[in-house]
């Protein structure tokens, strides 16, 4: 769940503000998307407006319309960029499917703990979830990302030998845990988080005993 694009946004914004007018006119759509993502995280969706972004980027509102039809178009592309990063990661993981299922499990479980990149990605994701409460397009993007990730987790548990239905239930529980480690990141010390991650890794692969 890392997000190199969004992380570099503030630096790029500063560069853009200091750049000569010719360079400003050549702002890429990606620069607008990065800036919009940063404003979404820091100030909320209502502040993601063409005038606010143009001001931050030091360009005219008009230059926005060179790349985007309207604000709606920008918002869709913010979501698409986020979804692509989420999907991309899954793809990278699927490509490394030669790793043992147990190594794949450890890999997905390490995601919430990958330092600043994970923390930044978590902030973007929570901002998008908040937006999704009030917007159907955002809602759909979030639902799809969750479904893809749960499907990937299901595949990992399938690789570990669990039947489809049980693999899906274990996948949901593990994904819940990962979302919570990111959402409830103030709960527990670093040592406690490490201990419970090791604990969850053991419990989640345990076959179910008698009823």
Query: Which residues would be at the binding site for a second copy (CB under 8 A)?
Result: 41-47, 123, 126-127, 129-130, 133-134, 139, 143, 146-147, 150, 165-166, 168-170, 172-173, 175-177, 179-181, 183-184, 186-188, 192, 195-196, 199-200, 202-204, 206, 208-209, 211
Torsion sign across C-alpha atoms 28, 34, 37, 42: negative
Rounded Cα distance, 25 and 15, in Å:
13
Q: Interior CA angle at 90 toward 206 and 68, to 5°?
A: 145
Residue placing its CB nearer to a second copy in the complex, 66 or 199: 199
DSSP H helices, 96-135, are: 101-110, 115-132
Pick from 143, 145, 127: nearest CA to 47: 127
Residue placing its CB nearer to a second copy in the complex, 97 or 164: 164
Shortest distance, CB of residue 67 to a second copy, whole angstroms? 27
Residue placing its CB nearer to a second copy in the complex, 99 or 195: 195
Residue placing its CB nearer to a second copy in the complex, 22 or 208: 208
Shortest distance, CB of residue 203 to a second copy, whole angstroms? 6
Shortest distance, CB of residue 146 to a second copy, whole angstroms? 5
Q: Interior CA angle at 50 toward 49 and 54, to 5°?
A: 120
Q: How many CB atoms lie within 10 A of CB 139?
A: 15
Q: Helix, strand or coil for residue 34?
A: helix
- Only one residue has tokens 């979302």, namely 179
Helix axes 164-183, 115-132, angle to 10 degrees: 100
- Only one residue has tokens 């979501």, namely 79
Residue placing its CB nearer to a second copy in the complex, 89 or 182: 182
Residue placing its CB nearer to a second copy in the complex, 77 or 172: 172
Rounded Cα distance, 195 and 38, in Å:
33
């Amino acid at each position: 769940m890392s997000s190199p694009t969004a992380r570099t946004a503030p630096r790029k914004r500063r560069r853009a503000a200091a750049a000569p007018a010719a360079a400003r006119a050549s702002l890429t759509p990606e620069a607008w998307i990065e800036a919009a993502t940063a404003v979404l995280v820091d100030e909320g969706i209502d502040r993601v407006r063409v005038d606010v972004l143009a001001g931050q980027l030091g360009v005219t509102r008009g230059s926005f319309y060179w790349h985007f039809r309207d604000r709606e178009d920008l918002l869709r592309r913010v979501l698409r960029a986020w979804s692509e990063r989420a999907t991309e990661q899954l793809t990278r993981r699927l490509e490394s499917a030669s790793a043992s299922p147990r190594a794949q499990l450890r890999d997905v479980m390490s995601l919430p703990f990958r330092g600043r990149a994970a923390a930044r990605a978590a902030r973007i994701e929570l901002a998008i979830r908040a937006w999704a409460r009030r917007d159907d397009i955002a809602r759909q993007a979030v639902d799809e990302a969750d479904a893809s990730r749960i499907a990937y987790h299901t595949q990992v548990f399938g690789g570990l030998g669990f039947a489809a239905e049980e693999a899906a239930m274990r996948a949901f529980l593990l994904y819940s845990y990962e979302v919570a480690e990111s959402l409830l990141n103030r709960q527990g010390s670093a040592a406690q988080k490490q201990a419970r991650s090791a604990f969850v890794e053991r419990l989640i692969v345990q076959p179910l005993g008698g009823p």
